[in-house]
Amino acid sequence: MTVPLELLVPPSRSGKRTESIIQYGDQLALESPYLESLHLLEPHSGRKMPRYRWNTPNSPTFYRIGIFAGIHGDEESGVLAAIQLLRELQDNPGIGEFYDLSVFPVCNPWGFDAGCREGATGKDLNRCFWQDHAEEDVRLLEGELRSRRFDGIISLHTDDTSEGIYGYVNGSTLTRHLLEPALKSTSSIIPRDVRPEIDTHPARDSMIFGGYQGILSAPAEQQPQPFSIVFETPHHAPLEKQVAAHVLAMKEILSLFRIITSQGQDI
């Protein structure tokens, strides 16, 4: 079962878009013994930032993964894909076996409600991390990144200048070996962007190594650094295909990371 596109109510400043995501996610949590609603509250505005935690208590947890979407409020496919992953976890809990997943479907509630890329202060929130900025959403997410010490970070984005799917590689050296199979599998849905320069950065095999300063990432003091993947879909592609590509990429990354790491730990 796929998440209904009707969750994307018309953009407004009423808060209904984020609320529709929360209502749907909370219903999933009521139906699943493994899914919790643990929403964050912006201290000044009172807005909720949806957060869900998936954990199967009948199997040991080895890996903490953070999944982040909607840091740019006008990028809808990642928001739907994050919720769709929760839907698929409910139907097939094996996807999340050995994982403690923290899923943040809407990291920029004000921007998502208004249909705007930026946050409430007019700044691009994905350039503000670890820069001593005062944006509430950034501070909340930095707190989560510090306290959870994720083994892996997956960020979902949409690019209106891209010609296909691509990704950013950061963090652990393992990252590129997780992203390449994800790109390969999802290219059956949307072709890869194979240009040598993507989003103003040099690219190789649809991958950018490094990228912009201030993007959502693990704190510099965390050692070892987690794998950190930014998976991008082209904005011009049909929304349904973007969502499907995001979901398949996440599932591929989760499956492969579990295999690679468990071999190292002889699980």
- 13, pLDDT greater than 80: no
Give the separation between CA 231 and CA 4, rounded to whole angstroms.
22
What does the pLDDT read at residue 266?
Answer: 38
Assign residue 244 a region (left: φ > 0; alpha: ψ between -120 and 50; beta: otherwise): alpha
Q: Provide the b/e sequence for 157-171 (b: ≥16 CB within 10 Å).
A: bbbeebbbbbbbbbb
Structural domain of 213: 5-265
CATH code of the domain containing 141: 3.40.630.10
| pLDDT on residue 14 | 57
Helix axes 76-91, 239-265, angle to 10 degrees: 60
* pTM of the complete model beyond 0.85: yes
Sequence-distant (≥ 6) Cβ neighbours of residue 173 within 8 angstroms: none
Strand blocks (E) in 96-226: 99-104, 152-159, 166-171, 197-198, 201-202, 207-209
Segment 175-187 mean pLDDT? 96
The number of distinct structural domains making up the chain is: 1
Buried b (16+ CB within 10 A) or exposed e, 26-47: eebbeebebbebeebebeeeeb
pLDDT digits (tens, 9 = 90+) for 96-143: 989 999 999 999 999 999 999 999 999 999 999 999 878 999 999 999
What pLDDT is stored for residue 16 in this prediction? 86
